Amino acid sequence: MILDENFILSNGVAIPKLGLGTWLIPDSEAAEAVRHAIAAGYRHIDTAQAYENEIGTGEGVRSSGVPRGRLFITSKVAAEIKDYSQAAASIDASLARLGCGPIDLMIIHCPQPWAEFRGEKRYFDENKEVWRALEDAYLAGKVRAIGVSNFLIDDLQNILEDCRIKPMVNQFRLHIGETPSALIGFCNRNGIVPEAYSPIAHGKALLNTEIASMAEKYGVSIPQLCIRYTLQLGAVSLPKSTKPSHIRANTQVEFKISEEDMKSLQAIKLD
């Protein structure tokens, strides 16, 4: 079962291949969504400082009835934090809000503040400072693994050129209609596990007739096809839902997409 499968990070830590994304889940609803996911067999929960639901996520983990050691919790340093001291303080704040002991994976949410996303200023030096804070948190045992999110190849190269510890993951938008093959390849060559957020393309995949036709061919739902697509690309998949029925359905991805159909899906363009 996919819920029992892991990737192994470069430091030997196992990361479950399927996780629950919690973006846009209010803090007041996060605990219940996390409990539903864990009851359905999920062992990987993905949150972030910017989601403002770490408190609820931590509550859901603590009240799930599953031992903490069997769960994998990810959080992210806010994109707007671009210096060492603020990053270090934010990690401690996330630890306190979650209240679940060491965080399994802590990552830089974005190489630029969201208001400047993919803008001209690249924040190379600033990201090295944030990375140094993550390295220190890792070496202090506050977090079990460290990585980045939304980093392009040159953003990764910037960190790799003089880091003490290499990024272990890069979480980025990866779905049918947006498959950055060069970035995936770079991650693979450098021992960085890709993670796919928004594997259903923020819902756009639900409206695409080509994807619907392919899902029908395999006798699965569109979300199931989309999740399977990212898994077969070698990425952790992080679908988000608060509905128990959807949370359970998103785990039913044991089918395999043929190589020919993978190529067809990769060629699809979404509006």
For 172-225, the pLDDT digits (tens) are: 999 999 999 999 999 999 999 999 999 999 999 999 999 999 999 999 999 999
- What's the rounded mean pLDDT across residues 23-41? 97
Could you tell me what percentage of the chain is helix, strand and coil, using 3-state DSSP and rounding each to the nearest 5? 45, 15, 40
| CATH number of 2-266, picked from 3.10.20.30, 3.40.50.300, 3.20.20.100, 3.40.50.2300 | 3.20.20.100
- What's the rounded mean pLDDT across residues 101-121? 98
- What's the rounded mean pLDDT across residues 71-83? 98
The torsion angle over the Cα atoms of residues 128, 195, 188 and 264, rounded to 10 degrees, is -140
| Residues in a beta bridge with 44 | 72
Whether 152 shows a pLDDT value over 80: the answer reads: yes
- What's the rounded mean pLDDT across residues 151-167? 98
Rounded mean pLDDT of the chain? Answer: 97
- What's the rounded mean pLDDT across residues 105-118? 98
Q: CA 46 to CA 68: how far, in whole Å?
A: 15
Q: Residue written as tokens 């899902």?
A: 215
**Positive or negative, the Cα torsion across 80, 85, 91, 97?**
negative
How is residue 231 written in tokens? 């898994």
Q: CA 55 to CA 43: how far, in whole Å?
A: 18
Cβ pair 146, 137 in contact under 8 A: yes
How is residue 241 written in tokens? 């839902």
Q: What is the CA radius of gyration of the chain?
A: 18
Q: Where are the chain's structural domains?
A: 2-266
Q: CA 214 to CA 240: how far, in whole Å?
A: 22
Assign residue 164 a region (left: φ > 0; alpha: ψ between -120 and 50; beta: otherwise): alpha
The strand ranges marked E within 100-258 are 105-108, 146-149, 169-173, 193-197, 236-238
Q: CA 6 to CA 196: how far, in whole Å?
A: 15
- What's the rounded mean pLDDT across residues 136-144? 98
Percent of the chain with pLDDT over 90: 99
DSSP label of 175: B
Instruction: Report how far apart, in Å, the C-alpha atoms of 183 and of each of 68, 126, 155, 169, 193 are.
Output: 33, 22, 11, 12, 11
Catalytic residue of the set 51, 123, 197, 229: 51
| Report field, pTM of the whole predicted structure over 0.75 | yes
pLDDT attached to residue 257: 98
Cβ pair 206, 183 in contact under 8 A: no
84 is catalytic: no
pLDDT attached to residue 1: 87
